[in-house]
Structure 1
Amino acid sequence: MIAGFVQNRHSREALKLFSELHRSGLVPSHSGFTSSLFACANSGDIEMGKQIHSLAIKRRFHFNPFVGNGLICMYAKCRNIQDISRVSGTMIARDNVPWNSLDYRLSENCLLDDARKAFENMPERDVVSWTAIISAYEQAGHGDIAFELFGKMLAGGVKPNQSTISSLLGACGCMGATKLGEQIRALTHKVGLNACLFVSNALISMYFKCGSLDGFQIIQEMSYRDIVSWNAVLAGCGQNGLGVEAVEIFRQMQAAGILPNEISFLGVLCGCSHSGLMDKGWEYFHSMHQDYGIMPLVHHYSCMVSLLGRAGRLSELKS
């Protein structure tokens, strides 16, 4: 019941049940402790989390890797970094679950140095460990270090997964390193990830960020496309001023039965803005709310301001 409440985002109800369980005299299991800690993380209730932590120590459950994972998640979500370090110091098991969680949570809070230290202190490193630290450096804009770590990962005999590849492609896009991206693409064929939807979507984004139109080829070759695939192409069109192409991709997406979302409209509006497609821009802007019930956000309005400004129709801005 506690786990069910947590999974359905009813954190308060989960914590009430945990309190009732404790008052009844029954000893919670490790899964009970873990679920309750995730409930504290989701609700930001660090005081309750500390009480559960104390109870876990009393019952000697704090050495359990899953409880350790829950503790790290809870303290990280509550941004209590000091206690994260204290928890990591008690992790005597060689199970990678809490260590990977520690690395991920530190990275999530932009604490790269601490994340790197945690990574270096891991008794063992698997693909999740390597991917977490590579992704952390990629998201922080340190693509060179991400690739340096990737080289060490391969030298250690660890095979990349789809998340590793996607992070590296993201780094290539930010660095404008098309040739390096091509090498990663070749690697996806070697490790059997070339048909992965997640990787294909990352390839589309990489090509467009590098100013290459090969992203169009990728989506045409894909046997299955989701909303992320279409949005990646639309965003690429917007980034590269391809208004006519954005309109055509939007039409193809609709024909495929995919409902556009806020990101879809942002891409096509940006494309229209850069290409001066005034009538099409107004058509899509009004269609957002009238046809799809999507309220325009500040970025959509910014695209329209840019579109009207480029067309010299500033008098329409107030409308």
Structure 2
Amino acid sequence: MKVAMVIPPYRYGADPSQWITVPPQGYGGIQWVVATLMDGLLEAGCQILLLGAPGSPVQAGVTVSAAVETAEIHAAIEAFAPDIVHDHSNAAALPPDVLRPTVSTHHLNGVPERQINGIYLSCAQRTAAGSVSAPVIRLPVNPSRYPFQEAKDDYLLFLGRVSAHKGVREAAAFARAAGLPLTVAGPAWEKDYLDALLADFPHTVRYVGEVGGGTRTRLIARARAQLVLSQPWGGPFGGRWIEPGATVVSEAAASGTPVIASDNGCLPEIVPGVGTVLPVGQNITLGDAKRVLASLPTAQAVRETAVDRWGHHTIARQYLAVYKRAVSGKVWT
């Protein structure tokens, strides 16, 4: 199939000519999802037009468009003549007058801007959006992008946006109770939150900033466990935060790194088998932390589960089936 992949165009750094690419230079959840899905679609023989990520690495089967404005994106789609348009931008970059079959993966909280032919990352996210029958397709992972390491170092890892709704303080509290250092890697756009975190956990937290490439994958592979203690408050858009898909879970698991997660949003659906789920608000003692760490599955078991559930070939096949439904004229909400 010919697939036009639309992602939100975001600037990278201070240089106005630079955009976050696919895969991203550093932080970029949607960009990592799209990069991995493209891996699977390309191996299935698809041709892809990538929109919203100018400057992305050139690879066989992919046309990287320089278009970022709506009119330019529309023209690029028409010139490519895809069988299906796959929107990842919550309609922000999707031209409203596209006449070709379109599906939309919702990466956020709440009700998507475009509800027709939506695809959700979890049942929790779908329910919060008010849908009951739209497809749920988990976030993919390509194990070849993540080095597997069975022997782990003695640190815990938080990877993601350094914000209240991502549970960084809760991760630091768990690490302190366990007597282990916590490496925190990701963008910190809320300076007061980061400053308070470092002041309150000076002997626990090591903040390394936003990381990419081999530094990022090595951090994931070497960690004893990855903490994904998402909280139902403090989200970037107000209201209740329901963790929609959690790319970091599949990435960690593909590296053989087990996950310790909260029970917010998608996490109770995806973490069993690759880690442990804790109730939001639980006060972690030293004994609790030791029991949780001792109960985690082995690196090999975690890796095998990740590849079986979320491998890029598996997820690409699921998307291709949904593409074919849309191309045949099926409509769902």
Please say whether Structure 1 and Structure 2 have the same fold, judged by a TM-score greater than 0.5: no
In proportion to residue count, which structure has more helix? 1
What TM-score do you get using the length of structure 1 for normalisation?
A: 0.25
Larger Rg over CA atoms: 1
Q: Which has the higher strand share?
A: 2
